[in-house]
Amino acid sequence: MKFKLGIPTDLEELSQNEDWKELENISSFFIFKILILGFGK
């Protein structure tokens, strides 16, 4: 599926970017810590 806005292709380029993958790992790590701190109390 191709869209005229070009948003999907931008997302594909982001997902292939190493920095984007690292950013996802960092954000998921923080969410994981927040969940542990939240349920740990």
CB 2 within 8 A of CB 8: yes
pLDDT for 7 equals 55
Phi, then psi, of 6 in degrees rounded to 5:
80, 15
What ranges in the chain are assigned the alpha helix state H? 7-16, 18-40
**What single DSSP character describes residue 4?**
T
Q: pLDDT 10s digit of each residue in the chain, 41 long?
A: 454 555 556 666 655 667 767 878 888 889 888 888 888 76
pLDDT for 38 equals 84
- Largest separation between any pair of C-alpha atoms in the chain: 49
pLDDT for 12 equals 66
CB 25 within 8 A of CB 33: no
